Amino acid sequence: MDINMNVVLEQISEAGEKKRFTLIRGGNVMRKIVLTTESGADLPNDLAEKHEIQVVPMHIIMDGNDYLDGTLPVEDIYSYHERTKNIPSTTATNVHEYQEFFASIRDKFPDCTIVHVGYTSKASSSFQNAVIAAEELEDIHLIDALNVTGGLGAIVLYAADVLEKDPDIEAARLVEKIEAVVPKSRLAFIPGSLEFLKAGGRVSNMGSLIGTLLKIKPRIDLKDGKLMSTKKYRGKMNGASEKLFRDYLQEFDIDREQLYLIYSIGLDEKVKNRMDEIAKENGFQDIRWIQAGGMISTHSGPGGFGIAGLER
């Protein structure tokens, strides 16, 4: 038997799904690259499960209670704001949680290599906490995606696609590919509520008042890992979202293979349908809607819209 020849094994999970592993015959050791990220990537559950991406939750603090992101219905966040005119606070995944998270993966896959694609370090301490947690671990690679929500998700799903197309890829080569695509991930969005920005300290009271009276909607982009207001659109969300989409396509040469459209609960279905039409008119092959989770919804409010994709 050729000891350098690899074979693929299939294991039936508890859910009845087949999971694939590569067995290195020379040492009879199953090796696997495991992709991980935070809940702030807003990965839909079906995609996380399909690509076997492990997700560690961040935190939302509301009414004196600490909720793991993903366990608190977004509608509760909106109700809390209506009741108190405040928004919950958000906190990063802490070092201890990362240690337990990485340890649990190693328990399942003792000889795996972990590739963690993290929430921007410019807006959260989560990535730095992951770095600290990984200091004494081997075979772990940490990548600062310098992005959030769909922009982070686009990078993680790109990594999953690379890994599935080339299951024998070396971890170092996969990391190189991910790092090369980080600056190509483009995210832009319009928050659904200036009141949420005001409550979160993102704009002044006067700025929020003027924006509301003039029906101005700020465009937020990720630039060098930071959330920055780059433009303002006047009018209702249906017109503003179309202007955002067309500006986005003019500014960035986005790969037409995949596009991520992001919404927070409350976005009008007519707006979503129009965004689908524009995406198809511009040749996008696979259009995926992503619901903003607790982390983003806490700061953007209901009815927000965003776009994420990778430049060619």
pLDDT in tens, 40-62: 999 999 999 999 999 999 999 99
Are residues 268 and 167 both part of a single domain? no
Closest to 131 in 3D by CA, of 116, 146, 151: 116
Q: Write the DSSP assignment of 129-187 as a string of letters.
A: HHHHHTTT-SSEEEEE----HHHHHHHHHHHHHHHHH-TT--HHHHHHHHHHHGGGEEE
The residue among 180, 200, 235 that closes a domain is 180
Closest to 7 in 3D by CA, of 52, 21, 108, 51: 21
- Confirm whether 296 is domain-assigned: yes
Percentage of residues of the chain with pLDDT beyond 70: 86
- Confirm whether 72 is domain-assigned: no
The residue among 180, 197, 219 that closes a domain is 180
DSSP state, residue 254: B
Position 6 confidence tier, pLDDT thresholds 50, 70, 90: very low
List, for residues 96-125, the tens digit of each pLDDT value.
Answer: 999 999 999 999 999 999 999 999 999 999
Are residues 138 and 211 both part of a single domain? no
Position 215 confidence tier, pLDDT thresholds 50, 70, 90: confident
Instruction: Say yes or no to pLDDT of 28 above 60.
Output: no
List, for residues 141-169, the tens digit of each pLDDT value.
Answer: 999 999 999 999 999 999 999 999 999 99
Q: What is the mean pLDDT of residues 220-247?
A: 93
Structural domain boundaries enclosing 207: 185-310
Are residues 43 and 140 both part of a single domain? yes
Are residues 126 and 232 both part of a single domain? no
- Confirm whether 248 is domain-assigned: yes
Position 308 confidence tier, pLDDT thresholds 50, 70, 90: very high
| Per-residue pLDDT at 207 | 63
Are residues 23 and 158 both part of a single domain? yes
Position 241 confidence tier, pLDDT thresholds 50, 70, 90: very high
Burial of 16 (0-12, 13-18, 19+ CB in 10 A): exposed
Residue that wins the pLDDT comparison between 29 and 96: 96
Are residues 132 and 210 both part of a single domain? no
- Confirm whether 79 is domain-assigned: no
Lowest mean pLDDT among 14-18, 62-66, 294-298, 307-311: 14-18
Are residues 254 and 160 both part of a single domain? no
> How many domains is the chain partitioned into structurally?
2
Name the pTM for this structure.
0.88
The residue among 165, 180, 195 that closes a domain is 180
Instruction: Say yes or no to pLDDT of 138 above 70.
Output: yes
Position 30 confidence tier, pLDDT thresholds 50, 70, 90: very low
Are residues 212 and 106 both part of a single domain? no
Q: For strand 59-62 and strand 6-12, is the pairing parallel, antiparallel, or unpaired?
A: unpaired
Are residues 197 and 287 both part of a single domain? yes
- Confirm whether 139 is domain-assigned: yes
Are residues 306 and 212 both part of a single domain? yes
Mean residue pLDDT across the chain: 88
Instruction: Say yes or no to pLDDT of 26 above 90.
Output: no
For residue 2, give both structure tokens: 């050729």
* Segments in the chain forming alpha helices (H): 45-50, 74-84, 95-108, 126-133, 149-165, 171-181, 194-199, 205-213, 237-251, 269-281, 294-300
Instruction: Say yes or no to pLDDT of 24 above 90.
Output: no
* Sequence-separated (6 or more) residues with CB below 8 Å from residue 145: 37, 117, 118, 119, 120, 151, 152, 155, 156, 182, 185
> Residue 224: which region, alpha, beta or left (left: phi > 0; alpha: psi -120 to 50)?
left
For residue 42, give both structure tokens: 């807003």
Any idea what the CATH number is for the domain that residue 204 is in?
3.30.1180.10
- Confirm whether 71 is domain-assigned: no
Q: Does the CA dihedral 61-229-276-285 come out positive or negative?
A: negative
- Confirm whether 74 is domain-assigned: no
Are residues 143 and 203 both part of a single domain? no
d(CA 99, CA 102): 5
| Per-residue pLDDT at 216 | 87
| Per-residue pLDDT at 250 | 97
Are residues 253 and 211 both part of a single domain? yes
